[in-house]
Amino acid sequence: MKRNVKLSIALACMIALGGMTLAGPASASNLTILFSGLDLYYDGQTGILATSPVIPTSNATVSTMDELVTMSFIKDGTNLGTFTSDIWADIELDGVFNIPAAGGMITVNSPGPKVNLFAGNNFLNLNWDSPVEIAYDGQHMNVTGSAGGAIVGQSLPFGQTMVDPLRISFSTQILDMGPSPAPGLNANGGNNDGYLYSFHSFGTGEVSGGTTVPEPATLLTLGFGLLGGGFLGRRRKKKN
């Protein structure tokens, strides 16, 4: 009889420990935030690529927020939900100089401050990582980078929490090219001749990375394990 009780207690402990092992590190999944209607403006003299035109006057104030068209939250291929109103992007990438006018790729090693997304009361605030790659083919611009250890703050919908590192990418089409000035030095000390001076582009963006949320099945296993251990403990006390 004592042997059976010991085996039962050992089994209950294994179940409880198994449940706690599963519940400790929550299972990792992938969360992707897709958004459309992104406006990006570029100023080759200041080297800024952002969601608002660069205002040359020092006393001008203008919001850098860009109203988006859609924002979807996709977890492991399943769309958790899509927002179509009250969604915004606030993006700035610094140190972007000498994008070849004939097309090509450049690498930005000092990307600067921010990628902020807003959906109602929900938000995700990031800082750029290095390096960031920008590819231009004469009509389209693709920007790819990351935010590693740089999540400033977040409050995401659907109970999600993103973890570093995150991947960031934008794909836009050039709509309007700015004027091409006479050759001269830009803020990086390079010559403007042969490089893009300014443009307005429109397209889509994506932020993706890991998200950790405890699964219901894991919590249920933990509950059964602890319940079984408590039941057998009371049974053993009665026998004694």
Q: What confidence tier does 198 reach under pLDDT thresholds 50, 70, 90?
A: confident
d(CA 117, CA 66): 10
pLDDT of residue 2: 46
pLDDT of residue 137: 93
Report yes or no: 194 and 182 within 8 Å, Cβ to Cβ. Answer: no
For CA atoms 207, 212, 216, 221, give the dihedral sign: positive
Question: H-helix or E-strand containing 238?
Answer: helix 216-239
- With a pLDDT cut of 90, the percent of the chain lying above it is 49
Angle (deg, nearest 10), helices 2-23 and 216-239: 160
d(CA 223, CA 174): 56
Q: What confidence tier does 197 reach under pLDDT thresholds 50, 70, 90?
A: confident
Angle at 113 between CA 108 and CA 117, to 5 degrees: 110
pLDDT tens figures, 86-113: 999 999 999 999 899 889 999 999 888 7
Q: Which residues contact 209 (CB under 8 A, 6 or more apart)?
A: 30, 31, 162, 163, 164, 165, 166, 167
pLDDT of residue 237: 43
pLDDT tens figures, 10-53: 444 444 444 444 444 455 799 999 999 999 999 888 889 999 88
**Comparing C-alpha atoms, which of 203, 128, 127, 207 is closest to residue 160?**
207
Phi first, then psi: give them for residue 185, nearest 5 degrees.
-80, 140
Report yes or no: 99 and 77 within 8 Å, Cβ to Cβ. Answer: no
Q: What confidence tier does 194 reach under pLDDT thresholds 50, 70, 90?
A: confident
**Whether residue 131 has a cis bond before it, omega within 30° of 0:** yes
Check pLDDT > 90 for residue 5.
no
pLDDT of residue 239: 46
DSSP label of 23: H
Check pLDDT > 90 for residue 232.
no
H-type alpha helices, 93-215: none
pTM of the model: 0.73
pLDDT tens figures, 141-169: 999 999 876 799 999 999 999 998 899 99
